[in-house]
A and B are shown apart, each in its own frame.
Chain A
């Protein structure tokens, strides 16, 4: 069982370049999330989705866009990368939001460096 798979795992970009991170889950989860993790700051929510075709802003959405065209996939895009977007990005999914269905399942992370 693959769970949550993120690609790519590592990427180096130059300032101004664009890229897309792909997250795929095989658990038929409704909810999907993109977090970024920086030293001393914990996990901060970028965008999330409560179902196919829906997206919403999280805590730190600026400079990112997302799409959820298929239930199993959640894409995170950077249109014009900036050094401040150097981080480790985690995708997560869950059956629901909170309570007994609120457990998050995480991918292995994607380490992005913007020069």
Chain B
């Protein structure tokens, strides 16, 4: 069964404390691993797409990496404005399936 699983469910960090979010996937014929950011009361917004193992993409304090079974979202020296829910997702056929998300809280 095609599946995307995220961990941890929630992560609390101090400002400047770097960490990583995990997304493990079992999807046949991967056509991209997507990361989205969702702020409270808003719809998800696209961050990155990764296509092949070893690929990395960066945006400000965020770096996404991909292996054959997992993707990681590394957050370096986070700030309070990085607090949000981070979702990973993958297309399956005509659909996109999502993980349950990781809620990140960054305290000043």
Contact = CB atoms under 8 A, between A and B. Distances in A.
Interface residues of B, number: 25
Given A103-B49, A108-B42, A42 B99 contact: yes
Contacts of A43: 44, 87, 89, 98
Given A106-B43, A109-B42, A99 B91 contact: yes
Nearest to A108: B43
Given A43-B87, A106-B44, A108-B42, A98 B31 contact: yes
Contacts, number: 73
A92 B43 CA distance: 9
Sorting the interface of chain A by its residue count into under 10, 10 to 19, 20 to 34 or 35 or more gives 20 to 34
Given A33-B96, A90-B43, A103 B34 contact: yes
A90 B38 CA distance: 12
Nearest to B46: A103
B10 to A, nearest CB: 11
B93 A97 contact: yes
24 contacts: A42-B87, A42-B98, A42-B100, A43-B87, A45-B95, A58-B95, A94-B96, A97-B91, A97-B94, A98-B31, A98-B32, A99-B31, A99-B91, A102-B31, A102-B32, A103-B34, A103-B49, A104-B36, A104-B44, A104-B46, A104-B89, A105-B46, A106-B45, A107-B43
Interface of A: 4, 31, 33, 35, 40-45, 48, 50, 56, 58-59, 90, 92, 94, 97-100, 102-109
